[in-house]
Amino acid sequence: MHAPARSPIPFTLVLALALAAAGSVEARQLLLRVESAPPVAAEQALVGRLVDAIGPNAAVQGEALVALIERQVSRDPGPTTAPAGLALRLAEGQERFIEGEYTAAAVVLADLRDELLERPALLSEVPPLHDALYRATLLLALAQQRAGNRAEADALWTALARGFPDRAPSRAELGPEPVEFFRAALEQVRSGQRGSLTITGARGDRCTLFLDERAFGTTPLPGATLPVGRYRLYARAGRQRGRLIVFELGPTAKHLVVDCARDAALRTDRGVIALRYAAADRASSLQAPAHARSLAAAVAADEVLLVGMQGPVAHATLTGSVLRVRDGALLRRASVRAAPAAPDPAALYALAGFLLGGAPSPALVGAWSASSAQPGTVTRAYGPWPWVALAGGLVGLGAGIPLLILDGRGTCSGAPRCPERYATATPGLILTVAGGVAWAGAATLFALRRSPPQGKNHAVATTATATAAAEASRFGPWIAPWLGPRAAGLTAGSAF
């Protein structure tokens, strides 16, 4: 009588089955506008119509993209005007504090402080606002302390110690209590755990830095030793407005790369995500492809879809292009004429459909798609899956075949009568089949990735390339680099 058979099913079974089932993944695409600065209402309206034709589900856009950018990249620098009634509200908070209405004072001062912190750009440009932030934070810390809210008060004293380390409260005005609280917070900050922060500018850009609302230097900034915790970094290029980066500094070294040139062009207000360049600033507008790819890479996107107006008013076109983030290759590009009359809805939908992978339409100007992109289908990004499937197949076959050979053999090596035998046929068969399926899947993915378009599709792509070249010779001086297909040999200037 045999003892219970051993069935060693390794974890590779789960891996092999998962790899065998893995297919292609839709490319994650971001939708960005390229606009002139200041924005022109007619231009925004026409680009908005194209965005509506593309549809909200075709690419990451709108409020979803704003939230993604603010969480993983940077935040809007806030309004360009001071909070309404700043001096009166600050005086009201102080008056309520003096009268012993600590909770009411805290409400007024907390609202005012939040509104000031929503304006990092203005705080860096207008010193009196920085003074108002200090005053609001100090009075709010005292009000919370007197109201018995110790946790809120401690956080505010720490913020004062970090943001205004050289500005102790006035003993003559407020008495000894706030001085002692501030001194204790400052000592705790200085004696606490510290980390190292290095900040560099993307592409060697020189950025002016403000950390927790105070001047912090310029890039490149070597390892600065700071207390661990959460920080607010506002970075700007020269006199241009930048954006706010919120990050956590731990006890280990942290390296931040800030793209202040891109952030100077990036706008995320009112749910409209755009790269905005002054019409006369040709040098900056030439960076639109790099800025778009930098932003898309920061949120782990595969492709970026750029839409905008191009060319002088008399020959304006509404143009869209799709770039691959990994290497900047142009995948699709097309335009519709926007002058002398605005394009009709049918032309806009034809442009939207082509940019999303559809077939070109006679209504389009210079419709072009890369030879590796199949017209009429959505581009798929297989990424590392062919190699992963190949490795999974090797693991499955390497584990399954030995299990099939091992089945029925005794567990006692060299013994003529072994009381226990391996029963590994089932897991061996499953692993072998799964490995074979994974290998077949890998072969299919490699074939799909490498096979060029054939027949009618290839003819369409070739014709589109020739059309694009013809359009380039006609409109070359106004075609932005991010619109011209590199594979077709187009070179041009920028309209933005």
pLDDT of residue 248: 96
If DSSP codes are grouped into helix, strand and coil, which group holds residue 324? strand
pLDDT of residue 18: 38
Q: 29-37 and 303-310: which strand pairing?
A: parallel
| pTM of this structure | 0.68
If DSSP codes are grouped into helix, strand and coil, which group holds residue 248? strand
If DSSP codes are grouped into helix, strand and coil, which group holds residue 226? strand
pLDDT of residue 402: 85
**Residue ranges per domain, the chain?**
12-23+382-450, 28-75+268-380+475-488, 86-191, 194-257
CATH number corresponding to 86-191: 1.25.40
Cβ-proximal residues to 68 (8 Å cutoff; 6+ apart), any chain? 60, 299
Closest to 287 in 3D by CA, of 271, 306, 303: 306
Q: Which two tokens stand for residue 467?
A: 């059309």
Q: 317-324 and 330-337: which strand pairing?
A: antiparallel
- DSSP per-residue codes, 170-223: PHHHH-HHHHHHHHHHHHHHHHS-EEEEEEEEGGG---EEEETTEEEEESSEEE
Assess contact for 305 and 322: CB atoms under 8 A: yes
Mean pLDDT in consecutive groups of 10 residues from the start of the chain, 496 residues: 41 35 55 86 88 87 89 92 94 95 97 96 93 96 95 96 93 92 95 95 92 94 93 93 95 94 89 84 79 92 92 87 93 92 91 92 90 42 73 85 79 60 81 86 71 37 36 35 34 31
pLDDT of residue 398: 87
Compute φ and ψ for 273, nearest 5 degrees. -100, 120
User: How far apart, in whole angstroms, are the C-alpha atoms of residue 423 and residue 7?
Assistant: 6
User: How far apart, in whole angstroms, are the C-alpha atoms of residue 330 and residue 350?
Assistant: 19
Compute φ and ψ for 493, nearest 5 degrees. -90, -170
Cβ-proximal residues to 360 (8 Å cutoff; 6+ apart), any chain? 334, 354, 367, 369, 375, 460, 464
Compute φ and ψ for 396, nearest 5 degrees. -60, -50
**Could you check whether the bond before residue 10 is cis, i.e. omega within 30 degrees of 0?**
no
User: How far apart, in whole angstroms, are the C-alpha atoms of residue 250 and residue 245?
Assistant: 16
pLDDT of residue 13: 34
